Chain A
Amino acid sequence: MTPGPDALLQMYAGMLRVRLFEERVRELFAGGRIPGFLHTSVGQEGVAVGVCAALRPDDYLLSTHRGHGHLVAKGGALRGLMAELYGKANGICHGKGGSMHIADASVGYLGANGVLAAGCVLAPGVGLSIKHRRSGQVVVTLFGDGAANRGPFHEGVNLAALWKLPVVFVCENNRWASTTANALSAAGGSIAKRAAGYGIPGDAVDGNDVLAVQDAVARAAARARAGEGPSLVEAHTIRWVGHFEGDPQTYRSKDEVAEGRRTDPIARLDRMLREMTLLDDAHARRIRDGVVAEIADAVAHAEASPLPQPHEALTDLFAFYPWRD
């Protein structure tokens, strides 16, 4: 089903939200406002927004170490997310998660993950619970091309296929497993083709075409909801920035980033919307201003928020633990 004008404009705004959020976060990190390790998804917005545009609000998402964009696209409140990146007490995880371990259960975002492909084995269990509750939800687990070489990817896909669970496996192929090229880490030349070994659909799409991602994931989700089991979608995209903030990127040529900018998913949809006369300069400006204001509000909120009290490190470990340790 082709998205209507409103849905297209929402995707446009959604990608801009991810892009500007990530760019602001990069600045804040460089300025020393955000501690820790930071992996941003600048350039990969088409995947995050395309996936979430294909989902219901109550569907689940399992994410990666490069997960801010996924949460923004899933509808997570920017204030709680930004405060968490700052390590503030009122961050969505009270400062215990940070960039790589954020969850926002209120929007079905069951966690970024510091361990690659970890979500691939969590997802079948979420699928089991969906099946048990007959809720018609699906769970999407995102992972990178590097993670597709870990055992949990294979175990998770096999189990989900075997038990026909409502899972969509989305490989966000940005060509690099940290600093190692995909060609030097993945055999077979295609992650999508691995689906054939498990008897499930495997689609490779242009991840910088948000509509192609949305379409592939929507088909996979429909199949999952119909009880026909999981699918694998490989979305090819380009990371414009380093693996982590501060990465000197000596391992790749500048041409690749230039290629990324040429295939910018936001510019692409921008052109399409203008051709369809759904967008003009004034409208685009209004959308951008709205996103900028929302991000500024999140930053102001995070800046003004208190740091946690040190002893709060002892809370949230167990739901029930009245004992002395």
Chain B
Amino acid sequence: MPVMDFADALNLALREEMRRDPRVYCVGEDIGLGVPFGVTRGLIDEFGPERVLNAPISEAAIVGSAMGAAMTGLIPVVDMHFADFVTCAMDEVANQIAKSRYMFGGQVDCPLVLRMPYGIGRSGGGHHSNSVEAWFVNIPGLKVCIPSTPADARGLLKTAIRDPDPVLLFEHRGLYRVTGEVSEAETLVPLGAAAVKRSGRDATIIATARMLGESLEAARRLAEEGVDVEVVDPRSLVPLDRETLAASVRRTHRVVIAEEGPMRGSTGAWLAWVVMEECFDDLDAPIARVAGPNIPIPFSPPLEKFATPDADQVVAAVRQVLKGAA
């Protein structure tokens, strides 16, 4: 199976879908050159400037026009450049895209994808580093997915493009150069399908995106101590595969939820509620959470490191839920 990095896997998905369906187009700032993360690199050579629209720095117009196009027959894939900048198009996402179908009584569909490069790292600082997926999980009318591997990234983006509803794809910018096997055949990953990334008996870690890798590293270290941890990746937050999460918890009875964004009002808090709702009686310990502190992301490397949840914290959280275990 070919090995490629996360950005190339997304690039492959875009090429495949643009070849398949002439209604699909890409729009965003600097996407002609594929700056800054290389995801759209070369697309303009294959599909031309009419389907790879290099846009002015006008987030409201980029996102708003995507909705106008989606309502009238096209399938836009918006590159948000940095997810942080979505604030400049928040009305378009929260009030227009999310609500149009509903407010209009189902008269129009809004099939578009917002690609959201996000996340902490390399001293990006306060306006280029935030994990903002929780904002959108809280907005009814949006689907939200968040891959952790190249194969999942490609498969989820393809599904998102084919979905009749607006989908946000959160792409952790720290994962773009991470490599993995990606099938030669066209492979779609359905929305609402979690994946068990490592099987184990003693506890379940539910983790997304970069924290999935940190959790697998934590699991490796814990295995050296004889602790056998299961790691589950929800892959999409809306819709959420409750059954796979619950089935894992029913096997292990102990849960750690790991995410990168701030602790307060987060997706991890929502997942903890779901676990409690699905299988409270199966829990042998209170759920533990790993998340960022409730601060903006600071610039200086030691400060940024402080704000970055990592494998050490996941290990500690697993030990906490295992306290008193036989």
CB of A103 closer than 8 Å to a CB of B: yes
Q: Is the CB of B64 within 8 A of A319?
A: no
CB of A242 closer than 8 Å to a CB of B: no
Answer whether A105 and B104 are a contact pair too, CB < 8 Å, given A121-B92, A159-B58.
Answer: yes
For B74-100 the 0/1 string (1 means CB < 8 A from A) is: 101000000000000001100110011
**Smallest Cβ distance from B125 to chain A, in angstroms?**
24
Answer whether A129 and B102 are a contact pair too, CB < 8 Å, given A151-B60, A317-B140.
Answer: no
Residues of B within 8 A of A210 (CB): none
B-contacting residues, A308-325, CB 8 Å: 315-321, 323-325
Q: Is the CB of B104 within 8 A of A156?
A: no
Residues of A within 8 A of B111 (CB): 319
Q: Is the CB of A101 within 8 A of B68?
A: no
CB of A158 closer than 8 Å to a CB of B: yes
Provide the bound-state CA to CA distance between A155 and B101, in Å.
24
Q: Is the CB of A319 within 8 A of B72?
A: no
For B126-166 the 0/1 string (1 means CB < 8 A from A) is: 00000000000000110100000000000000000001110
Q: Is the CB of A125 within 8 A of B65?
A: yes
Q: Is the CB of A91 within 8 A of B105?
A: yes
Answer whether A123 and B68 are a contact pair too, CB < 8 Å, given A158-B61, A317-B141.
Answer: yes
CB of A92 closer than 8 Å to a CB of B: yes
Provide the bound-state CA to CA distance between A299 and B74, in Å.
37
CB of A94 closer than 8 Å to a CB of B: yes
Sample of 27 A–B contacts (CB below 8 Å): A92-B105, A105-B104, A110-B108, A118-B92, A120-B64, A122-B68, A122-B96, A123-B68, A124-B65, A125-B66, A125-B69, A128-B25, A128-B65, A132-B25, A139-B68, A152-B60, A155-B58, A155-B64, A159-B58, A162-B56, A315-B106, A317-B101, A319-B106, A320-B164, A320-B165, A321-B165, A323-B192
**Smallest Cβ distance from B247 to chain A, in angstroms?**
14
Residue of B nearest to A157 (CB): B61
For A91-133 the 0/1 string (1 means CB < 8 A from B) is: 1111111000111110000110111001011111111111011
Residues of A within 8 A of B140 (CB): 317
Residue of B nearest to A126 (CB): B68
Answer whether A101 and B61 are a contact pair too, CB < 8 Å, given A125-B69, A320-B164, A320-B165.
Answer: no
CB of A12 closer than 8 Å to a CB of B: no
Q: Is the CB of B239 within 8 A of A125?
A: no
For B38-58 the 0/1 string (1 means CB < 8 A from A) is: 000000000000100101101
Which of B70, B107, B141 is within 8 Å of A93, CB to CB?
Answer: B107
Q: Is the CB of A130 within 8 A of B95?
A: no
Q: Is the CB of B165 within 8 A of A318?
A: yes
Count of B interface residues, CB-CB < 8 Å: 51
CB of A60 closer than 8 Å to a CB of B: yes
Q: Is the CB of B107 within 8 A of A128?
A: no
Answer whether A158 and B58 are a contact pair too, CB < 8 Å, given A93-B105, A318-B165, A323-B239.
Answer: yes
Residues of B within 8 A of A319 (CB): 101, 106, 109, 111, 164-165
CB of B67 closer than 8 Å to a CB of A: yes
Provide the bound-state CA to CA distance between A320 and B167, in Å.
12
Answer whether A316 and B164 are a contact pair too, CB < 8 Å, given A152-B61, A155-B58, A156-B61.
Answer: no
Residues of B within 8 A of A139 (CB): 68
Residues of A within 8 A of B100 (CB): 103, 111
Q: Is the CB of A97 within 8 A of B105?
A: yes
**Smallest Cβ distance from A136 to chain B, in angstroms?**
14
Residues of B within 8 A of A97 (CB): 103-105
Provide the bound-state CA to CA distance between A102 and B108, in Å.
12
CB of B242 closer than 8 Å to a CB of A: yes
Residue of B nearest to A308 (CB): B105
Provide the bound-state CA to CA distance between A321 and B240, in Å.
11
Residues of A within 8 A of B72 (CB): 60, 110, 125-126, 129-130
Provide the bound-state CA to CA distance between A163 and B68, in Å.
15
10 closest residue pairs by CB, A with B: A125-B68, A121-B64, A125-B65, A93-B105, A323-B239, A125-B69, A319-B164, A155-B61, A94-B105, A122-B68
Q: Is the CB of A325 within 8 A of B67?
A: no
Residue of B nearest to A324 (CB): B242
For A67-111 the 0/1 string (1 means CB < 8 A from B) is: 000000000000000000000000111111100011111000011
Residues of B within 8 A of A318 (CB): 101, 141, 143, 164-165
Residues of B within 8 A of A162 (CB): 56
CB of B71 closer than 8 Å to a CB of A: yes
**Smallest Cβ distance from A91 to chain B, in angstroms?**
7
Provide the bound-state CA to CA distance between A124 and B58, in Å.
12
**Smallest Cβ distance from B271 to chain A, in angstroms?**
14
